């Protein structure tokens, strides 16, 4: 299925992007809070080669920039 | 009226009394999530909420055995309130939660508590997800040795063509395994699968924007195919449409429970609708189905 978002070829880059978004929104607010991140990344483990991605949301466009569209294989 | 009939009559009244806590009457639950109190023993909070104005979080408890909406609105104000944690009223951990802000479902929308039939309800937006359980909590649902019961109270939204309701998942793989419930083509499919094409499934017809209680039996090891997965909708006739003899592997034990979605959020396939209550028993309560449904309906006024 087509996903609009941000694609990363290694997990570390996805983690960096996740932290950028969390820092932008001041998360976590306190160490005791449940909420640690603003967005999280997913692993496209059925794709070859595998990759990591963050799905698009308007709230992160100003942080991560213009999204792209890519295919993610998901088994239902 | 004979003595036995009288006893049965009064027991039925007791069981359908909404002031009787469901977990007191039917105690062998693995997990129990609700916006009403389900147990006289449970003394913890109902949910934990993040308010959109500054991302501060606060636990919200019960008043008169229901979600304390006064405290909730006092905390959230005119903003949105998102559920970060839905506490398991068994008090054994296994709380439903999500550590990612953008995928947390809604309980307060612009200062108004989300409700269905006047009772608080949690709203998913198709990209939301709450997950619970360690790697063995839900093994009983698919190990082929336990006849398990679940009940859930929810209201469908505008989309019943491609959404996920709840799903046992590793949360690390997109392979479809475990016991799950999803909606397509106006059907709720109760399914068990190990990945690949092999599956057992029971299908019940559903409609958009409709309030439901689903009572389900998961008995995947049953020798009779039709009895492997049984669905009951709004206390109607039992639905037994499975014809497959497939038995899910007992080796797949590393499942967590995902609610409102498949294993990943942000995929636009999450539940478009509200959830008010979900109880997973590792026991066979099929003989108590009507009494459990009555307790639920007397409170939620579903049908």
Say whether B54 and A29 touch across the interface (CB within 8 A): yes
Helix-strand-coil split of chain A, %, nearest 5:
30, 25, 45
Is 70 exceeded by the pLDDT of residue B114? yes
Residue B211 to residue B187: CA distance in whole angstroms? 14
Q: How confident is the model at residue A74 (pLDDT cuts 50, 70, 90)?
A: confident
CB-based burial label for B1 (10 Å; 0-12, 13-18, 19+): exposed
Residue B16 to residue B32: CA distance in whole angstroms? 18
Residue to mutate among B100, B128, B267, with most A CBs inside 10 A, is B100
Say whether A34 and B48 touch across the interface (CB within 8 A): yes
State the nearest Cα–Cα gap between B181 and chain A, in angstroms: 11
Token pair 């206390």 is found at: B235
Q: Which residue of A has its CA nearest to B162?
A: A76
- Residue B292: phi and psi, rounded to 5, are -65, -45
Say whether B100 and A35 touch across the interface (CB within 8 A): yes
Residue to mutate among B102, B196, B267, with most A CBs inside 10 A, is B102
pLDDT, average across residues B196-218: 93
- Residue B258: phi and psi, rounded to 5, are -105, 130
- Residue B290: phi and psi, rounded to 5, are -65, -40
Residue B231 to residue B239: CA distance in whole angstroms? 5
Residues A32-69 pLDDT 10s:
999 999 999 998 988 999 999 999 999 999 999 999 99
Contacts of A13 (CB under 8 A, 6+ apart): A52
- Residue B294: phi and psi, rounded to 5, are -65, -45
* Of B6 and A9, more confident: A9
- Token pair, residue B61, equals 């408890």
Q: Which of B121, B129, B142 is nearest to B211 (CA)?
A: B121
State the nearest Cα–Cα gap between B29 and chain A, in angstroms: 25
- Token pair, residue A61, equals 């466009």
Residues B140-196 pLDDT 10s:
887 778 889 999 999 999 999 888 899 887 776 666 677 889 999 999 999 988 777
State the nearest Cα–Cα gap between B84 and chain A, in angstroms: 6
| Least confident among B38-42, B101-105, B125-129 | B125-129
pLDDT, average across residues B267-285: 92
The pLDDT of residue B256 is: 84
Residues B115-147 pLDDT 10s:
999 999 999 998 999 999 776 788 888 777 888
The pLDDT of residue B8 is: 47
Contacts of A50 in chain B (CB under 8 A): none
Q: How confident is the model at residue B37 (pLDDT cuts 50, 70, 90)?
A: very high
H helices within chain B, ranges in order? 3-16, 22-25, 69-76, 289-300
CB B240 within 8 A of CB B226: yes
pLDDT, average across residues A4-13: 96
Is 90 exceeded by the pLDDT of residue B246? no
Say whether B99 and A57 touch across the interface (CB within 8 A): no
Percent of chain B, pLDDT > 90? 70
Question: Would you list which residues of chain A are within 8 Å, Cβ to Cβ, of chain B?
Answer: 1, 3, 5, 25-27, 29-30, 33-40, 42-46, 54-55, 57, 59, 73-76
Between chain A and chain B, how many beta carbons pairs sit less than 8 Å apart? Answer: 78
Percent of chain A, pLDDT > 90? 84
Q: Which residue of A has its CA nearest to B175?
A: A75
Contacts of A30 in chain B (CB under 8 A): 57
Residue B126 forms contact with A (CB below 8 Å)? no
Residue B185 forms contact with A (CB below 8 Å)? no
Residue to mutate among B54, B104, B178, B264, with most A CBs inside 10 A, is B264
| Least confident among B19-28, B210-219, B248-257 | B248-257
Residues A13-25 pLDDT 10s:
999 999 999 999 9
The pLDDT of residue A18 is: 98
- Tell me if residue B75 falls in helix, strand or coil: helix
Contacts of B270 in chain A (CB under 8 A): none
Residue B65 forms contact with A (CB below 8 Å)? no
pLDDT, average across residues B61-68: 97
Residue B252 forms contact with A (CB below 8 Å)? no
Contacts of B100 (CB under 8 A, 6+ apart): A35, A36, A37, A38, A39, A40, B265
Say how many CA atoms lie within 13 Å of B144 toward its Cβ.
Answer: 16
The pLDDT of residue B262 is: 80
The pLDDT of residue B199 is: 87
Residue B285 to residue B100: CA distance in whole angstroms? 35
Strand partners, A43: A52
The pLDDT of residue B250 is: 65
- pTM score: 0.93
Contacts of A3 in chain B (CB under 8 A): 267
CB A20 within 8 A of CB A68: no
Does a cis peptide bond (omega within 30 degrees of 0) precede residue A28? yes
The pLDDT of residue B5 is: 46
Average pLDDT across chain B, whole number = 89
State the nearest Cα–Cα gap between A49 and chain B, in angstroms: 15
The pLDDT of residue A69 is: 96
Say how many CA atoms lie within 13 Å of B242 toward its Cβ.
Answer: 30
């Amino acid at each position: 299925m087509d996903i609009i978002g941000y694609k990363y070829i290694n997990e570390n880059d996805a983690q960096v992007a996740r932290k950028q978004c969390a820092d932008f929104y001041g998360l976590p607010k306190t160490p005791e809070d449940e909420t640690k991140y603003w967005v999280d990344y997913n692993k496209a483990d059925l794709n070859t080669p595998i990759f990591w991605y963050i799905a698009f949301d308007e709230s992160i466009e100003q942080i991560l920039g213009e999204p792209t569209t890519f295919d993610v294989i998901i088994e239902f | 009226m004979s003595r036995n009939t009288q006893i049965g009559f009064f027991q039925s009244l007791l069981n359908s009394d909404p002031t009787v806590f469901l977990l007191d009457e039917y105690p062998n639950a693995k997990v129990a999530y609700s916006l009403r109190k389900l147990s006289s023993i449970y003394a913890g909070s109902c949910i934990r909420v993040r308010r959109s104005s500054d991302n501060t979080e606060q636990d919200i408890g019960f008043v008169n055995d229901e979600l304390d909406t006064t405290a909730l609105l006092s905390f959230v104000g005119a903003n949105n309130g998102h559920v970060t944690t839905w506490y398991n009223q068994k008090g054994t951990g296994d709380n439903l939660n999500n550590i990612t802000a953008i995928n947390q479902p809604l309980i307060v929308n612009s200062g108004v508590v989300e409700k269905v039939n006047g009772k608080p309800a949690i709203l998913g937006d198709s990209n939301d997800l709450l997950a619970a359980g360690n790697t063995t909590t839900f093994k009983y649902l698919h190990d082929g040795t336990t006849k398990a019961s679940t009940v859930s109270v929810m209201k469908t939204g505008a989309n019943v063509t491609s959404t996920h309701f709840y799903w046992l998942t590793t949360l690390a793989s997109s392979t479809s395994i475990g016991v799950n419930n999803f909606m397509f083509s106006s059907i709720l499919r109760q399914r068990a699968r190990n990945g690949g094409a092999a599956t057992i499934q029971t299908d019940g017809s559903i409609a958009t924007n409709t309030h439901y209680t689903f009572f389900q039996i998961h008995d995947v090891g049953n020798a009779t195919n039709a009895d492997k997965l049984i669905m009951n909708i709004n206390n109607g006739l039992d639905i037994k449409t499975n014809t497959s003899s497939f038995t899910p592997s007992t080796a797949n034990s590393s499942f967590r429970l995902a609610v409102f979605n498949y294993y990943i959020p942000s995929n636009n396939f999450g539940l478009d609708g509200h959830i008010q209550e979900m109880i997973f028993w590792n026991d066979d309560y099929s003989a108590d189905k009507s009494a459990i449904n009555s307790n639920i309906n007397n409170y939620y006024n579903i049908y």
